[in-house]
Amino acid sequence: MTTSLTNENPHALHDVFPPDSVALVTGASRGIGAACALALAAAGCHLAITYRRKEEEAARIAEQIEQMGRQCLTFRLDVTDESQVTDIFRKTRQHYGRLDAAVLNSGITDDGHLATMSRTKWSSVIDTNLTGTFLCAREATKAMYSTGGSITMVASTSGVAGRPGQANYAASKGGIIAMVKTLAAEVAAKNVRVNAVAPGFIQTDMVAAVPKAAMAQALTHIPMGRLGQVHEVASAVTFLASPLASYITGKTLTIDGGMVNG
């Protein structure tokens, strides 16, 4: 199950952002992040996108964005490196003069049962998924503090309901959900909205690595009976990030075909 991306999103929201709006998307070389970047471009944003290793894939996403008539900056980023995070947000604002939306998507998995999980395996996931998201959210908040904007974090249904073998991942994503609630309350008066999406089983390279038997079992718990598509997550992210969701903050939207009831 590999992810095929084009700018042909059947659910795309077109031109819902004001002219010359700017969005930054982390982890945008493939999967959900890439789909979000393309959807935000269709919705009217110039982009700054980041990747960690997949330089060629990120370049292809940037090319598709530019084919839509938008600008796109591309940066290599390790979200656990505080100085890199600060520098990329600074460069984005220097180039565009503003930042209207940030989609914080970077994340990894390294599964294992808690009783036998090493400190290294725990820390690597927490550092990337939770601390990395915190660092990006902090810089996004600073960038929007005087102008307003939206921050959308990508959590997971594992952070809502838990999942065996994912203690580190579930803790990191549950932490993101808690951070959204707190940050939303802190910055609402500054016209900065903060929300999260919590995808379930979405057809990405990460889900493709799940053993077939385990995936077949997981599908029995999804009322819609199928995997989600990256463009279905991207459309929800674009809505939450855009002025269409101007009275929504502090919320987490599960995107999971009905798997989690809450």
The domain segmentation of the chain, as residue ranges, is 22-251
Longest CA–CA separation in the chain, Å? 52
User: What's the CATH architecture for 22-251?
Assistant: 3-Layer(aba) Sandwich (3.40)
What pLDDT score does 2 carry? 36
The span from the CA of 24 to the CA of 71, in Å, is 12
The span from the CA of 143 to the CA of 162, in Å, is 33
Instruction: Kindly provide the residue ranges of all beta strands, DSSP E only, lying in 146-217, ordered along the sequence.
Output: 149-154, 192-199
The span from the CA of 201 to the CA of 226, in Å, is 9
What pLDDT score does 86 carry? 98
Among the listed residues 99, 133, 127, 113, the one whose alpha carbon sits nearest the alpha carbon of residue 24? 99
pLDDT by position in tens, the chain (length 262): 333 344 467 778 999 999 999 999 999 999 999 999 999 999 999 999 999 999 999 999 999 999 999 999 999 999 999 999 999 999 999 999 999 999 999 999 999 999 999 999 999 999 999 999 999 999 999 999 999 999 999 999 999 999 999 999 999 999 999 999 999 999 999 999 999 999 999 998 877 777 888 888 889 999 999 999 999 999 999 999 999 999 999 999 999 999 997 6
pLDDT digits (tens, 9 = 90+) for 209-256: 778 888 888 899 999 999 999 999 999 999 999 999 999 999 999 999
148: left (phi over 0), alpha (psi -120 to 50) or beta: left
Name the percent of the chain lying above pLDDT 70: 97
What pLDDT score does 1 carry? 32
Among the listed residues 200, 195, 146, the one whose alpha carbon sits nearest the alpha carbon of residue 170? 200
What pLDDT score does 4 carry? 39
- For helices 132-144 and 167-187, what crossing angle results, to 10°? 20
- 169 belongs to the catalytic site: yes
The span from the CA of 51 to the CA of 106, in Å, is 8
What count of other Cβ atoms lies within 10 Å of the Cβ of residue 88?
22
Contact 232, 255 (CB under 8 A): yes
What pLDDT score does 262 carry? 64
Name the percent of the chain lying above pLDDT 90: 89
| N-to-C CA span, the chain | 28
**134 vs 38, 141, 153, CA distance in Å?**
24, 10, 10
Residues 51, 96, 145, 169: which is the catalytic one?
Answer: 169
